[in-house]
Structure 1
């Protein structure tokens, strides 16, 4: 009987190892603080590639590499590596399934503000706040003209108060949030700030103080990756990721996704959705030094974050954005 059980387990392990495997890595993680001026963008990359092929690509493009690990930031410092980095990315994107997601954390924080500090007010009054993407339109308006419209520094103070209130969930932090809204020129955009500034809407404050509500962007980034991996995977697949402290949060979220066995589909928009149970079967943490495939994911997300930072004018990157 013991031998039979061992054989069954070995067969199960073999089936898992034979599955298509996506390797993922992240960049720009700052926890609950989405206003970090040094890291405006957060993202992650998933690549369906095995370690042997990844090792071959690294040797092909960086035959003289002496470091123990391929790291984008280290390689990008040397101008001589730039053509090689571009060629490596081109090779990965041309021949392998690959998806990269990058978000502007300030814009994401504005969307969260509208989700918890505004939408409950409209919901209680029978208004569909999300109809026709109104939340995205209002977030875009706040992002672009809010700093001028609401007064000097008012939007920054409001967002800082919001993410602190979400984290602490204390009466004093919630009161400070309402005070920040009232101290702004909120009458210039009452649709967005009126629920807090005019009414201190209890339904909004309750939503902000609810357990589990967080401004951590990991959930959004990971869900965006999974929604695409589920589409491009041929069948059941698995994920490997680095053992870094940041990715521990991703690991826990992935395990929760895998454990959700009820059949249901969530539609975020007309072109984005996710269906449970997932094709994703397992998630494993690995040492990135022993995983050339994870190292390639580091290069892809590192280059993407640098490119979008350059295009947004945040700072000048080393590669051609």
Structure 2
């Protein structure tokens, strides 16, 4: 059922999408591996899949796919789980390969949640202190280098379980849901920062922790009245949707985005996301983006939109590849990996510039 309530009235779309001069190309989006603010969940990766297709064409693709795989046409909400039996998965995978109906129309934005924790730590605290001092940490990608230092080398640089405690302490005080005693959570985080800085054995990690030690005032302000009107600090769904939409607009020009309905994607959040993309807003002068032609940004249900069903299939395949690479190898993961990895967006929130963000995962545990 469509989401109800005043926050979900204006931007819920039930009518079919259709590529046009006024609305541009439609990009249908769906997620896999989303756990809200719980960035320390067992599933390390979150994916948002985008398929450049409108509902008119998507209906034809879904119909042909059901016919080829023997899935009853009465299945109105096609899901990835429908393709785990027999040879259905192989037939599904042909959609994304050369000659397939969706070849060249698909991409996947990946978030490494563990890296996202450290990226948020730098973003919410160190960047704020740098800004106060007139320093732009986006120049020469310094903010990313600091986050990578903590995410990639932190576990090796700190003794015992110190790194895990640092991660947990940040998530505990930064999350909006069930914060407990906020003042105590902030103090615990800075106690962990101090302890980690004391024992760090790698210079790049020590330098990042040194910068964190000077950010207490910003942590105290993080949950002020103004901040409470903003999205939760650890909420990454709209960030992923924005970055994926930006990538498609840079390739195609004018686009409209149709996201699978989700309680976090309120009308206001979708409005803000579209505004950021159309104005090119950035945190600092060096992080400004080119203004994009985002015609519409709306939500919808897979029951109403065949295009969202195709995005769900791609997101499910990407999730299977992530689990295959990080948790337990499977035949499905082995089949899909060489097909899905080339579809991953280069701008994904991962700590590596490797075209395969899962390749070095073992070294970053």
Normalising by structure 1, we get a TM-score of 0.79
- SS in structure 1 of the partner of residue 49 of structure 2: strand
Q: Distance in 2 between matches of 1:287 and 1:130?
A: 37
What residue in structure 2 maps to residue 170 of structure 1? 182
CA drift at 1:14 = 12
Q: Which moved more, 1:153-162 or 1:202-211?
A: 202-211
Match of 2:356 in 1: none
Q: For 1:57-136, what aligned pairs fall within 5 Å after superposition?
A: 57-63=61-67, 64-66=70-72, 67-75=75-83, 77-90=84-97, 91-94=100-103, 97-125=105-133, 127-136=135-144
1:64-91: CA deviation from partner (whole Å, max 9, x where unpaired): 112332211342x224212112112222
Task: Provide the C-alpha distance between the structure 2 equivalents of 1:14 and 1:288, rounded to a whole number of angstroms.
Answer: 11
2:341 is matched with none
SS of the residue aligned with 1:184? helix
What does residue range 1-321 of structure 1 map to in structure 2 within 5 Å?
18=20, 19=23, 20-37=25-42, 39-63=43-67, 64-66=70-72, 67-75=75-83, 77-90=84-97, 91-94=100-103, 97-125=105-133, 127-167=135-175, 168=179, 170-184=182-196, 186-188=198-200, 189-197=205-213, 199=214, 201-206=215-220, 208-210=222-224, 211=227, 212=230, 214-235=233-254, 237-245=255-263, 248-249=264-265, 252-258=268-274, 263-264=279-280, 266=282, 274-276=289-291, 278-311=292-325, 313-317=326-330, 318-319=332-333, 320=335, 321=337
Unaligned ranges ≥5, structure 1: 1-12
Report the Cα distance in structure 2 between the residues aligned to 1:122 and 1:268, rounded to whole angstroms. 11
Return the alpha-carbon distance in structure 1 between the equivalents of residues 33 and 300 of structure 2. 20
Do the aligned partners of residues 225 and 148 (structure 1) sit closer, same or farther apart at CA in structure 2, a change above 3 Å counting?
same
CA deviation vs aligned residue, 1:237-282 (integer Å, no higher than 9, x gap):
323233343xx42754322234569855549999x96444x42222
Measure the CA separation in 2 of the matches of 1:275 and 1:232. Answer: 13
Kept in 2, the 8 Å contact 1:24–1:297? The answer is yes
CA RMSD of aligned residues (A): 3.2
Give 1 or 2 for the bigger CA radius of gyration.
Answer: 1
Give unmatched runs, 5+ long, in structure 2. 1-14, 338-365
Alpha-carbon displacement from aligned partner over 1:202-238 (angstroms, at most 9, x marks no partner) = 3442454451360111232022112112213343x32
